[in-house]
Structure 1
Amino acid sequence: IMSKMVINQPQPVMYAQESDEWSSGICDCCDDVPECCCGFWCCPCFACKTSRNYGEPLCLPLLEIFSGMIPAITMSMRVSMRQRYGIRGTMCRDCVLATFCPACSWCQISREMKRRKIPIVMVAAKNT
């Protein structure tokens, strides 16, 4: 049995930073009307789809029914999105937008993922 020795480890692919701002505003629903209609009329379904596309568990947003007054999942997705793409902002603003505009927040997250076009790669280790 011959084995190969790894000399160079694979490096993460670096993407050019587009901007440190959101590519669309919180109320820019006219930028993607079909998605915003889905987000407005069926926010739980839209949030689940967006969560899955982001690389998180499909039903993660449904846990928000247990979070009380502050929608912790929506807020944490906004914070994660800002960190991943280097978008300026504060947790306080994320909290306010997630609390008072959850559908708009999910729509903004979805638009940002589409515009940045940065693929999410899930890596699963298997024992053979």
Structure 2
Amino acid sequence: MAGVSAIPAAEDVLDRELDVLSLPDVARALGLPLTRVHQMLRDGQLLAVRRDGVLVVPALFLNGEGVVKGLAGTITVLRDSGFNVDEMIRWLFTADDSLPGTPIEALRGNRGREVKRRAQALAF
């Protein structure tokens, strides 16, 4: 499957207790074909980690309505700041006392502006 190997993925830097979804599960949750999920990963609208050799997406990246609002924009800001996929995943799941909580929790709490501001500050 040449297409799957072209999908950027982080090493599994996440807590093993964190819920993750297989790519077919992400496709079902979003009501999209699996190929569209692959494209979202390639385009930086989502991030994946390789857990036990399988690509998975942190469940916190999705909510009942789809991909968490602001995630794709935050990924773009981090990529533009020179972050690789491993660093992006780590940053999104590392507690920040000034938010408080983790950036992904802040995005889920509709505090995307604050998250993007912090991500932009990392470039300087």
User: So what's the TM-score if we normalise by structure 1?
Assistant: 0.31
**Which has more helix, going by share of residues?**
1
**Which has more strand, going by share of residues?**
2
User: So what's the TM-score if we normalise by structure 2?
Assistant: 0.32
Q: Which has the higher contact order (CA 8 A, sep 6+)?
A: 1
